[in-house]
Structure 1
Amino acid sequence: MTTTEGRNVAIVTGSARGLGYELACQLIERGWLVAGIDFDADRQAELAERFGTERYRAFVGDVADETFVDDAIAEIARIGHIDLLINNAGQPSFKTPTAYVAADVDKCLKGLKGMILWSVATLKACGEHDLKITNVMSTAATRGNANESVYCATKWGEKGYTQSLKAAYKGSSVKIVGVYPGGIDTDFYRDSHDYVSLEKQHSFMDPAELAEVILFNLVNEANLTVSDIIIERNYR
């Protein structure tokens, strides 16, 4: 196995596309080894070939599958100490209040369940020390939005979990960061063009620029932690 001595190890969920992909790329550019988590096997194979296993380890599975999470964490922990976990994976469902069905609720809750499972498993693997957990949510966790009732409910749950982790690990070497971005120009909205038009979507934040801003706050030499990051797009 390739040695990682002296290198930082990060886990990024939802790493195959969008913001997760940009976060993984920019961490790799900074010299990190990234364990990328995603259910898209073809895309994961592509990224593993592009970056090589010295920089990117691809794990394919459902972020909300406890067995997959535990097996992946065990393998990643053998690579080296996990310094950073970025819980980024999630799926939306944007509908009018009366259009939601149980499947929509389950779809949205996968992100919350995955956030919890990956956080718990990583904390155990690190012995609850020297770890930064970053939960990427949405500004939907800070307010209610029309046609996003279930999505907002899930994000508010993720915010509650994030704040509870902060309280549990206050004063320790485990740092918890909540990231609340506004709309991002990715495929996240591809099934909701009746709600978010392509024209509107393309006015949203660029995922590469957003990743740069997030990592500027997360990965630096300063002896401090930015605990909450709310990022909105500029209107021009």
Structure 2
Amino acid sequence: MADATNGKRIAIVTGSALGLGFELTRRLIDAGWFVAGVDFNAERQAELAETFGADSYQAFVGDVSDEAFVNDAIARIADLGHIDLLINNAGQPSFKTPTAYEAADVDKCLKGLKGMILWSVATLKADGEQDLKIANVMSTAATRGNANESVYCATKWGEKGYTQSLKAAYKGTSVKVVGVYPGGIDTAFYRDSHDYVSEEKQHTFMDPGQLADVILFNLVNAANLTVSDILIERNYV
């Protein structure tokens, strides 16, 4: 099974079906990587598997916060070879006034944090805690408090805490951990929150393709260095 990638470096991208995750996936494949893409959107995953081909993309359909799914997927990916890069990109928003939040909103936002932890742990184990780069895509919401994003910010601050703790644990080793903090992106991420982020406002946000270029320029390069934090703000006009 190790020959299935034809010697390509292996990356895992969660939330690979649409938006920033798709743009990161497409660019990695264009650069010669094999991508294991993870998303709950089965229809879109089938499209990507056909588009990219089995020699460049393998689709995994499931909930990123489901531990059994994570462990099964990692075992199958590890059979292909050493995992070089994990991009924890999957997450779901919930933008509401402070008193409008309910337990379901908390659970929805926490899926990203839980998934980040599960995929990181499983990948670290599969790689023997060696020669791995983990990129945790969060949000500028992990760096400040925002009105009407109290629960979303809380979970993003949790993701930042986990990311910083991983950095401390693997300092001086061949495991590198990168925190990625983008501002607003012009994607369907806001489709359920257009009372808070209108479509007109959404379209002033960053282009996901351009953002993916900036992230990968800093994340994947031949230089003997690691950019440990990538904070990207959109231009205000």
User: In structure 2, the residue corresponding to 1:22 is in which secondary structure?
Assistant: helix
Map 1:190-229 onto structure 2 (within 5 A): 190-229=191-230
- Quote the residue 1:113 is aligned against: 114
> Cα deviation per residue 1:56-106 (whole Å; 9 max; x = unaligned)?
000000000000000000000001100000000000000000000000000
Tell me whether 1:16 sits opposite 2:17 in the alignment. Answer: yes
Per-residue deviation, 1:180: 0.2
Per-residue deviation, 1:234: 1.4
Per-residue deviation, 1:3: 3.3
After superposition, the CA RMSD in angstroms is: 0.7
Per-residue deviation, 1:4: 2.5
Mapped partners of 1:77, 1:6: distance in 2: 13
- Quote the residue 1:59 is aligned against: 60
- Quote the residue 2:147 is aligned against: 146
Task: Report sequence identity in percent.
Answer: 82
Alignment check: 8 A CA contact 2:37 2:57 kept: yes
Alignment check: 8 A CA contact 2:6 2:55 kept: no
User: In structure 2, the residue corresponding to 1:108 is in which secondary structure?
Assistant: helix
Tell me whether 1:34 sits opposite 2:1 in the alignment. Answer: no
One-letter identity of the residue aligned with 2:8: R
Tell me whether 1:50 sits opposite 2:51 in the alignment. Answer: yes
Mapped partners of 1:38, 1:85: distance in 2: 14
One-letter identity of the residue aligned with 1:124: K
Per-residue deviation, 1:5: 4.6
Mapped partners of 2:164, 2:157: distance in 1: 11
Map 1:158-169 onto structure 2 (within 5 A): 158-169=159-170
Mapped partners of 1:6, 1:197: distance in 2: 45
User: In structure 2, the residue corresponding to 1:234 is in which secondary structure?
Assistant: coil
- Quote the residue 2:86 is aligned against: 85
User: In structure 2, the residue corresponding to 1:235 is in which secondary structure?
Assistant: coil
Per-residue deviation, 1:235: 2.1
Mapped partners of 1:57, 1:25: distance in 2: 13
Map 1:128-143 onto structure 2 (within 5 A): 128-143=129-144
One-letter identity of the residue aligned with 2:117: I
Mapped partners of 1:97, 1:234: distance in 2: 28
> Cα deviation per residue 1:151-210 (whole Å; 9 max; x = unaligned)?
000000000000000000000000000000000000000011110011100000000000
User: In structure 2, the residue corresponding to 1:43 is in which secondary structure?
Assistant: helix
User: In structure 1, the residue corresponding to 2:79 is in which secondary structure?
Assistant: helix
Q: Tell me the TM-score normalized by structure 2.
A: 0.98
Mapped partners of 1:77, 1:20: distance in 2: 21
- Quote the residue 1:185 is aligned against: 186
**Structure 2 alignment gaps of length 5 or more:** none
| Number of residue pairs the alignment of both structures matches | 236
User: In structure 2, the residue corresponding to 1:79 is in which secondary structure?
Assistant: coil
Mapped partners of 1:19, 1:72: distance in 2: 21
Mapped partners of 2:189, 2:126: distance in 1: 31
Runs of 4+ in 1 over 3 A off after TM superposition: none
- Quote the residue 2:232 is aligned against: 231
- Quote the residue 1:176 is aligned against: 177
One-letter identity of the residue aligned with 1:233: R
User: In structure 1, the residue corresponding to 2:133 is in which secondary structure?
Assistant: strand
Alignment check: 8 A CA contact 2:62 2:69 kept: yes
One-letter identity of the residue aligned with 1:139: T
Mapped partners of 1:32, 1:46: distance in 2: 19
